[in-house]
Structure 1
Amino acid sequence: MAKETLDSLRKAIDELDQDIMSLISQRAKCAQKVARIKQAACGDSGEKAVFYRPEREAQVLRKIMARNQGPLNDEEMARLFREIMSACLALEEPVRVAFLGPEGTFTQQATIKHFGHSAVCVPMVAIDEVFREVSAGAVNYGVVPVENSTEGVINHTLDSFMDSSLKICGEVVLRIHHHLMVSENTQKAHISRIYSHGQSLAQCRKWLDAHWPTAERVAVSSNAEAAKRIRGEWNSAAIAGDMAAELYGLDRIAEKIEDQPDNSTRFLIIGHDCVPRSGSDNDRAADKTSIVVSMRNQPGALQAILEPFHVHDIDLTRVETRPSRSGVWNYVFFIDFEGHQDDPVVTKVLERLSDRVNDIKVLGSYPKGVL
């Protein structure tokens, strides 16, 4: 009886798999039709067709999560559809994305989380090179880290926006799990050196103090570089993530060693185009806007900047201060807040700010990270 039940369930699964494949194929054919319509619409004007629409993908993923009835959780269901959408988009035109490399970094993991495995990922050695590749049109988009919940903002990313005309098109928040790993050549009893990126070493400081207090901690350019180095050394280990372990064939001897269990890093998607609203008039929180304002250091400067947001009840998600390059004692404020620049209330706030500051620059309005 049990065998008959198992066989019938397997048959049902096979039939469902066939139905799923058929529906995915139908979706892919629709994507191809969309591509032809877009190309035909741009044919006469000579403009390049835009296939990837961040606001549209955010809307689709939100609907998937809202309609999900389980037993898979909302995020897992959305990840499945993320990959289907990525594969369908590749039929229209593969998206080329530059990221802070090398391969195996958390930035590559964030890139795949946002664009799916069908995107063409191009590693760059520095944040400013990611900006240059996107600016030159060599890739469609770039992915750069901007802040970590434990160690704070990445100033190099903020500074890169000062001289760039690129727009923020999206964001990705990635839970960061660090593992201590070794290669097949490592003599575990004689580990005397641990490689990792400087921020990763800082994020695992307490764990290292407790478990490897005498090991030398060597900061390198990336966690992937750390993973690569230990393959040729018998007395070293590396702190890196899952992708680096898989890419370089390393063994994890301790997992999730970060000091803060909710450790996460936020990444920004940069591109050329402004992104339309992804939320409705009643859903301001669906989108975020990032701006940079410059102002002379004087009493009440910060209050003058923040007051319009308070008056119009707009939620600020981040405020960061950096010295301005334009002169001594001038400062710039990087501000993230809920809402899209096309929202009437946000427009009012930006107008009031313009009257109070030396300069204001909208870095972009974009969908809030869904996954």
Structure 2
Amino acid sequence: MTDKSTEQQQLAELRDRIDAIDSDIGRLISERAQCAQTVAEVKKANTDEDVVYYRPEREAQVLRKAMDRNQGPLGDEEMARLFREIMSACLALEQPIRVAYLGPEGTFTEQAALKHFGHSAVAVPMSAIDEVFREVEAGGVHYGVVPVENSTEGVVNHTLDNFMDSNAKICGEVELRIHQNLLVSEVTKTDSITRIYSHSQSLAQCRKWLDANYPHADRIAVNSNAEAARRIKGEWNAAAIAGELAADKYGLNKLAEKIEDQPDNSTRFLIIGREQVPSSGDDKSSVVIAMRNEPGALHDLLAPFQDHKIDLTRVETRPSRSGNWNYVFFIDFSGHVGDDKVQKALQAIGEKASDLKILGSYPKAVL
């Protein structure tokens, strides 16, 4: 038998094996979907209240197990993303999840929403962060996704400010690597670009690249990267800085890829909802605290966390709305508010604080 014949026989056998495996995978996915439908039926039969189908803590546990079981050659995150989409499709059989995000279509926030909830979720664009909060509180959507901090440009103050007055609860987080691209349309004359549109943070994230490559082009800040992408469709001398999702949504071409100044540029997004989330076993909590304006206030705020060995992951200060030169503290820390040591720490802080608001406990980002 010739080498060519041997190769063809080996490939045929491997393809037959792949077909058999695909058949098993399809059967098991269908079996999982049927179990999801049964779960929905059991929930409906045992309560007269609105049924909560999406369980953030349960989903995080499933994804962690998928990563722990993984033996390659696929990476852990790739394996988790596959399970993420399977769970998204199965959940849609119970109830399609409606998720509000900072729009328009094609923003990094939409990309974060799809990363967290999967592509079977119904993503609903909003024109402003406060609209996302209002839509969640009003019950128009099940959840919302808002940006909270960027590794290069820092916190998104508008998101923090909304938590002061909102009753929405943080029930999850998602981290997204931010890759910026210079996009052009079919009408763009690439040698005559004099305007570059993008969100102000994206322009800042690409400042050095723009200085080196387009030092004389006007940098025009707009409400979102997606708006920038949409705007250049009719301008022959303009380009936009935006992500890959915006390029796909608006049919644009990448003139240059990954132009962000910091290669590890990433943004953290929060998932907001109306229910508190039980412990998943590996959680974070967020609180906002107003301290009395007196000597030692900052020590009184931080000491209980140290006393109870609670790891602080972020501390931000914002001006209080109660008066000039008063401030509130936004604090993220490891642990769940149901943990004994967390309860003791918050009780000690509450005795000194003028106000303490628990924004939520939620699973640490898996993807």
**What amino acid is the match of 2:344?**
K
Q: 1:1-371 maps to which residues of 2 (within 5 A)?
A: 1-42=6-47, 46-279=48-281, 286-371=282-367
Distance in 1, matches of 2:319 and 2:183, equals 39
Question: Which residue pairs with 2:3 in the alignment?
Answer: none
Instruction: Give the gaps of 5 or more residues in structure 1.
Output: 280-285
CA contact (8 A) 1:95 1:120 kept: yes
Matched residue type, 1:106: F
Residue type of the alignment partner of 1:30? C
Q: Report runs of 4+ in structure 1 exceeding 6 Å deviation.
A: none
Report Cα offsets for 1:171-211 as digits up to 9, x if no partner: 00100000001001000000000000000000000110111
The offset of 1:299, in angstroms, is 3.2
Alpha-carbon distance in structure 2 between the residues aligned to 1:29 and 1:6: 34
Amino acid at match of 1:10: R
Counterparts of 2:365 and 2:126 in 1: how far apart (Å)?
A: 23
Matched letter for residue 177 of structure 1: H
Distance in structure 2 (CA, Å) of the matches to 1:41 and 1:120: 27
Deviation at 1:302, TM superposition (A): 1.5
How many angstroms apart in 1 are the aligned matches of 2:277 and 2:283?
A: 10
Letter of the structure 1 residue corresponding to residue 71 of structure 2: Q
Supply the AA of the counterpart residue of 2:279. R
Offset of residue 330 of structure 1: 1.6
Q: Are the equivalent residues in 1 in contact too, given 2:292–2:352 (CA < 8 A)?
A: no
CA positional deviation for 1:328: 2.1
**Bigger shift: residues 318-327 or 290-299:** 290-299
Q: 1:296 touches 1:331 (CA, 8 Å); kept in 2?
A: no
Aligned length: 362
Query: Does the CA-based 8 Å contact 1:274-1:365 persist in structure 2?
Result: yes
Tell me whether 292-301 or 125-134 shows the greater mean CA deviation. 292-301
Contact 1:171 1:268 in 2 (8 A): yes
Give CA-to-partner distance per residue, 1:302-348, whole Å, 9 cap, x none.
Answer: 22111111111111000000111012222100000000000000000
1:128-178: CA deviation from partner (whole Å, max 9, x where unpaired): 000110111010000000111110111110010111111000000100000
Mapped contact 1:183–1:230 kept (Cα < 8 A): yes
Q: Distance in 2 between matches of 1:353 and 1:131?
A: 27
How far has the Cα of 1:102 moved from its partner? 0.3
The alpha carbon displacement at 1:298 in A equals 3.5
1: CA distance, partners of 2:234 / 2:148: 32
**Structure 2: runs of 5+ lacking an equivalent:** 1-5
Amino acid at match of 1:238: A
Deviations 1:78-98 (A, max 9, x none): 000000000000000000000
2:355 aligned partner, one-letter code: D
Q: State the secondary structure of the residue aligned to 1:109.
A: helix
Inter-partner Cα distance in structure 1 for 2:319 and 2:67: 41
Distance 1:296 1:353 in 2: 11
Contact 2:85/2:120, CA 8 A, preserved across alignment: yes
Match of 2:291, SS state, is: strand
Deviations 1:261-316 (A, max 9, x none): 1111010000010000000xxxxxx1000000001343322221111111111110
